Amino acid sequence: MLDQTDRELFNSVISAMMMGGNFIEDFNYKGYTINPDKKHVDVILDGLRNRERFCPCRVQKIPENKCVCEDFINTGKCCCKLWVKEETNE
């Protein structure tokens, strides 16, 4: 669903949020946005910081679970709900 270029962009956004703690409200890429619930985003970012950027919703610290995880790249669904897809009326 997403490719390596997409992964690099999402990784850059996560890095910026983790370093500065800033909430990027206007991020929108291919219909994906950052969850509008700032408290939820802060919890996920704290989890990513504490787990060396491995998904806080997954037990195993394996490469496939490093944010941006393989599931998100392959299916477009973020199990942590950090990334959400805008609803379309198609």
Domain ranges of the chain: 4-85
CATH architecture assigned to 4-85? Alpha-Beta Complex (3.90)
Are 81 and 40 in contact, with CB atoms under 8 Å apart?
yes
pLDDT in tens, 24-81: 767 889 999 999 998 999 999 999 999 999 999 999 999 999 999 999 999 999 999 9
* Model confidence, pTM: 0.84
CA angle 54, 36, 52 (to 5 degrees): 15
What is the side-by-side strand order in the sheet with 32-34?
Answer: 28-29, 32-34, 83-85
List CB contacts of 64: < 8 A, sequence separation 6 or more.
Answer: 70, 71
Task: Supply 53's token pair.
Answer: 């950027």
Is the pLDDT at 82 greater than 80? The verdict is yes
